[in-house]
Amino acid sequence: MTTPVEPRAAPASESSARRHKLILAALVACTLVMVALALLPLGTGLKVGLVLTVATLEACLVAGVLMHLVEERKLIVSILVLTGIFFVGLLLLPILSEVDHARHFFK
Amino acid sequence: MSAPATDNYITHARGLRSWLFTLDHKRIALLYMMSIGAAFLLGGVMALLVRTELLTPGKTIMTANQYNNVFTLHGAIMIFLFIIPSIPAIFGNFLVPVMLGVKDLAFPRMNLASYYLYIIGALFAVTAIGHGGVDTGWTFYTPYSTTTSANVIAMTMGAFILGMSSIFTGINFIVTIHKFRPPGMTWFKMPLFLWALYATSIIQVVATPVLGITLLLLIAERITGVGFFDPNLGGDPLLFQHFFWFYSHPAVYIMILPGMGIVSEIIPVFSRKPIFGYKAIAYSSVGIALLGFLVWGHHMFVSGQSTLANMIFSFLTYFVAIPSAVKVFNWLATMYKGAISLDTPMLYALSFILLFGIGGLTGLPLGFSATDIQLHDTYYVIGHFHYVVAPGTIFALFAGIYYWFPKVTGRLMNEFWGKVHFALSLVFMNLVFMPMFIQGLEGMHRRMYDGGATYAAGPDVAYGLSLALKLNVGISHAAWLLGLAQVPFIVNFFWSLYRGKRVESDNPWQATTLEWATPTPPPHGNFLEEPVVCRGPYEYVPDASGRDFQPQNEPGTAPARQPAPALTPQTQPA
Amino acid sequence: MSTHAHAMTIPYTVEPRPDTGLYNARLGLWLFLASEVMLFGALFSSYILLRVGADTWPQRQLSIPLGTLNTLVLILSSISVVMAWLSLKRNDFGRFKLWQGATVLLALLFITVKSFEYHDKFTHYYVQTRDGREMTGHLEGKPFNLSLARLQARPKPPAEITFYPDAPAHGPTAGRAAHPEALKLPLADLVKLEAFGPWRNTFYGIYFVLTGLHALHVLGGILVLGYFWGPGSRMWFTEPERFTNRIEVAGLYWHFVELVWIFLFPTLYLL
């Protein structure tokens, strides 16, 4: 069996177990915080903003740590940045078309 | 000329199973060619039916409902089953590994899967023809597409599955081009065809899913009655148009970029000159791909979106024309002072430049939102987009076929009949599509069963409406002649497969790129050993042995670039 | 000259290419994930448009406890799929089987909970009577996806239906016990009877499409992860490094599925 040429060395057993316990705790905590925020009597805009921020944080943990993106090669990260730009554009698209409609001016 | 004694990819294994379950990219390319060719014929038959109906204002051979079905099928089949897959699936699959000096693509099994997804998608689409038809136009606009009794679901499922095929092909090409370049082949020593396919693959991967979702929502609305696109139920028909064109505009660049890549390959070979502005052409391919994502709204100038949106999209549309123009100028500069030989591939490549140019220039009044109000949904639009795909992409496709036929089969196509095919196609293409601009300026609406007779009561705008209506007859005749002009090509193609003149060398066109450095036709594994690239892909400069070109992988005895001979003044003989 | 090209193989299936530092499948999968980002992005985009454009938007339609449970299930499965890969990197095939198996079981649990949620929606009904009353609730016997048209089309349509309205959320009777009074509604009085399926309103439409597509991806993941747990794991004994790469790449896909859920859950359940 050839030795792996992976640039990342396999982490030592204990620190890896601890790392994953930490991540698990962080993800569970984020989830519970999201639920808690949603149940609080906050204004809609603020609630949406806060909940989605926590969701994004949770997503960054999954992507960065579990999917190894923090230590991933530049090529992959640049593909994802490009995709992210397209993704944001796609999300903005309906907002732009919605504020567009003439009916808003006649409301 | 004796039969070749060497084993090649065609003789490597025999039997139907060895073709249907092959992992060899070359065989998969040929499988695609047969299926896509069949799709082209089917779409062409639809076109001829449309044009026959338009010979007279009233009923000629079909009812109005049938007409709606026929033009929809012409569009959907030509776009989804023919032109979007054509060059990437056929030429890309065959040539990408060979131009890179490797055995196969990065994911051969995924390549075969792409092919079968294409077949399944095509079957769904063809089912729609037999069961219920589709009469919405290939753009499936709501609310008609959510309410018509036609078999929208089969056609859109077909398009969805075809999209998956497209995405997998794109992923395969991107990984292969990143990872498999041989030693010495940096990004800027790659053939420009690969740059074109790389840019195309980016679009395929990023844009196609959006179409998938759009069609999925359409299917959901038809099946469950949810009102994504129905304002009465809280939806928005413009949502459909925005998402549809978010894919379909970049899709037109999927249609044209590979064709431009083929032209970039052919022009240097038949001008015996290095390409002018390699980096400009490479960057412009990626530029077109990226800019193409920003302009979809120019299909929606009269849809009810705001003036602000119209302005922004119109402004951005003019930017995307710039990289295309860059390519045209670079091709022309390549030919300047070259030793041009007018073989059939070169004839097609040259006419591509001219006719794509016409298509591109006629896009300018459409991109300008003020004039588009007059021209939207008229025959002017039909003339514009047919010029870019028909004398555009299809001519590039023909150029590629004539050029790489020897590589694929080891035989040459008949040059005389190739030129006949070219001349006839050129003449009839223009006779079919040029008058459409006049009809469009007259205001003749597209997709209308009566061929514009509705406008007969209105005031004459430019050339007299009776002329515009009469043009229908001329166009339809020319369309039939254009169809007949393909017969010499089909005969030539199949005849040359078995009886064409065998190539005398592995490199009949004396080209420099790596696909010509391997036996013709290639063996199963393409190369016997990994080539090492020493120079750029278009070094059509003399070397020490008197050849006027230096292949990419040959070390050569002369430096890669000869210094220009010093200009000596003419001296009188003593 | 040799007539067989035998020396060439497909490079970089296992060892990474020096300048990119990647093996083929990892690059290929990230590109695939890029296309999936656009796929779900288009759906989220539709959601935004529909919500922003709607006059009123139904909220709190879904069970938050069940949604939270499913989120925690997926988080656990993400950790377990990474542990499976790490086990292989430490040459512990037994542990790999354990963790991979746990991942598949957790994924199956997710699907089970989701099916339960879907079933609940299709047995929950909205009725509208001729005199303008609108109520939501359950029907006797909890039939699956009944509709007025289907009832009327029966060979022997019932004269009346037994309806258990939901307890109202506000007012003096709010929070009453979960066995409300049964209402007998004559069939002739009904104008509308439909289950809470995608047709109910655009919220349900986008809910079912989003979670349905996500569930299909979960099922796909179950198939792939299950295959690698079962028959596919034989590759460990012949090409261990290639197999490890496959597990890594499958894990990346699974993490993406979880990522989508991380946004689905607050969007549909909480906000």
Q: Which range has highest mean pLDDT (B550-559, C15-24, C255-264)? A: C255-264
Report yes or no on B571 lying in a domain.
no
| CATH code, B185 | 1.20.210.10
With 70 as the cut, is the pLDDT of residue B270 above it?
yes
Contacts of A76 in chain B (CB under 8 A): none
Contacts of A100 in chain B (CB under 8 A): 305-306, 308-309
The domain in which residue C260 lies consists of: 25-50+59-121+201-270
d(CA C65, CA C270): 11
For B52-92, the pLDDT digits (tens) are: 999 888 888 999 999 999 999 999 999 999 999 999 999 99
User: A93 and B178: CB-CB below 8 Å?
Assistant: no
d(CA B97, CA C11): 12
- Do C78 and C36 share a structural domain? yes
d(CA B367, CA C223): 48
Is the link from the previous residue into C58 a cis peptide, with omega within 30 of 0?
Answer: no
Rounded to the nearest angstrom, the minimum Cα separation between B242 and chain C is: 10
Is the link from the previous residue into B143 a cis peptide, with omega within 30 of 0?
Answer: yes
Report yes or no on C8 lying in a domain.
no
Average pLDDT of span B490-497: 95
User: C198 and B7: CB-CB below 8 Å?
Assistant: no
pLDDT of residue A9: 46
d(CA B91, CA B456): 46
Q: What is the ipTM of this complex?
A: 0.87
User: C45 and A90: CB-CB below 8 Å?
Assistant: yes
Report yes or no on B469 lying in a domain.
yes
Contacts of A34 in chain C (CB under 8 A): 265-266, 270
Contacts of A2 in chain C (CB under 8 A): 241
CA distances from C79 to A25, A61, B523, C176 (A): 11, 12, 47, 41
Contacts of C258 in chain A (CB under 8 A): 62
Contacts of B236 in chain A (CB under 8 A): 97-98
pLDDT-based confidence at B563, cuts 50/70/90? low
- Do C173 and C135 share a structural domain? yes
d(CA C122, CA C204): 11
Rounded to the nearest angstrom, the minimum Cα separation between A37 and chain B is: 28
pLDDT-based confidence at A99, cuts 50/70/90? low
Based on the structure, what is the number of domains in chain C? Answer: 2
Give every CB contact of residue A63 below 8 A, 6+ residues apart in sequence: A69, C255, C259
Report yes or no on B209 lying in a domain.
yes
d(CA A45, CA C55): 16
Report yes or no on B198 lying in a domain.
yes
Contacts of B173 in chain A (CB under 8 A): none
The domain in which residue B245 lies consists of: 22-517
Q: Which of B98-107, B563-572, C91-100, C180-189 has the lowest mean pLDDT?
A: B563-572
pLDDT of residue B219: 93
**β-strands C183-186, C160-165 pairing:** antiparallel
With 60 as the cut, is the pLDDT of residue B136 above it?
yes
Report yes or no on C191 lying in a domain.
yes
User: B305 and A100: CB-CB below 8 Å?
Assistant: yes
pLDDT-based confidence at A97, cuts 50/70/90? low
Rounded to the nearest angstrom, the minimum Cα separation between B519 and chain C is: 10
pLDDT-based confidence at B426, cuts 50/70/90? very high
Report yes or no on C215 lying in a domain.
yes
Closest Cα partner for A47 from C266, C264, C56? Answer: C266
- Do C76 and C182 share a structural domain? no
- Do C231 and C134 share a structural domain? no
Report yes or no on C3 lying in a domain.
no
Of the CA atoms within 13 Å of residue B50, those in its CB half-sphere come to 22
User: A100 and B308: CB-CB below 8 Å?
Assistant: yes
Boundary (domain end) residue, out of C180, C195, C210: C195
- Do C154 and C63 share a structural domain? no
- Do C164 and C190 share a structural domain? yes
User: C8 and B205: CB-CB below 8 Å?
Assistant: no
CA distances from B383 to B86, B269, B284, B430 (A): 21, 31, 25, 10
Give every CB contact of residue B25 below 8 A, 6+ residues apart in sequence: B93, B94, B96, B97, B104, B105, B108, B111
Do B557 and C40 meet the contact criterion of CB atoms below 8 Å apart? no
> Residues 192 to 231 of B: which have CB under 8 A from any C CB?
205-210, 212-214, 216-217, 220-221, 224-228
Q: Which of B117-126, B335-344, B374-383, B531-540 has the lowest mean pLDDT?
A: B531-540
Average pLDDT of span C226-242: 90
Q: Which of A68-72, B225-229, B464-468 has the lowest mean pLDDT?
A: B464-468
- Do C221 and C188 share a structural domain? no
Average pLDDT of span A33-50: 89
For chain A, domain boundaries: 14-71, 73-107
Report yes or no on B563 lying in a domain.
no
Report yes or no on C1 lying in a domain.
no
Q: Which of A31-40, B2-11, B287-296, B434-443 has the lowest mean pLDDT?
A: B2-11
With 50 as the cut, is the pLDDT of residue A2 above it?
no
The DSSP line for C66-88 is HHHHHHHHHHHHHHHHHHHHHHH
- Asked if B55 reaches chain C (Cβ–Cβ under 8 Å), the answer is no
pLDDT of residue B556: 64
- Do C261 and C131 share a structural domain? no
pLDDT of residue B1: 38
- Do C80 and C38 share a structural domain? yes
Select from C6, C10, C145 the residue whose CB has the most chain B CBs within 10 Å, as the one to mutate to test that interface: C10
Contacts of A83 in chain B (CB under 8 A): 206
Q: Which chains have at least 3 CB atom pairs separated by less than 8 Å from chain B? A: A, C
- Do C205 and C98 share a structural domain? yes
- Asked if B7 reaches chain C (Cβ–Cβ under 8 Å), the answer is yes
Report yes or no on B427 lying in a domain.
yes
Q: What is the mean pLDDT of chain B?
A: 89
User: C31 and B175: CB-CB below 8 Å?
Assistant: yes
Do B76 and B244 meet the contact criterion of CB atoms below 8 Å apart? no
pTM: 0.90
For A5-22, the pLDDT digits (tens) are: 444 444 456 677 788 889
- Do C106 and C43 share a structural domain? yes
Report yes or no on B8 lying in a domain.
no
- Do C168 and C149 share a structural domain? yes
Report yes or no on B410 lying in a domain.
yes
> Residues 508 to 547 of B: which have CB under 8 A from any C CB?
523-530
Report yes or no on C68 lying in a domain.
yes
Q: Nearest residue on chain C to B202, judged by CA atoms?
A: C31
Based on the structure, what is the number of domains in chain B? Answer: 1
Report yes or no on C66 lying in a domain.
yes
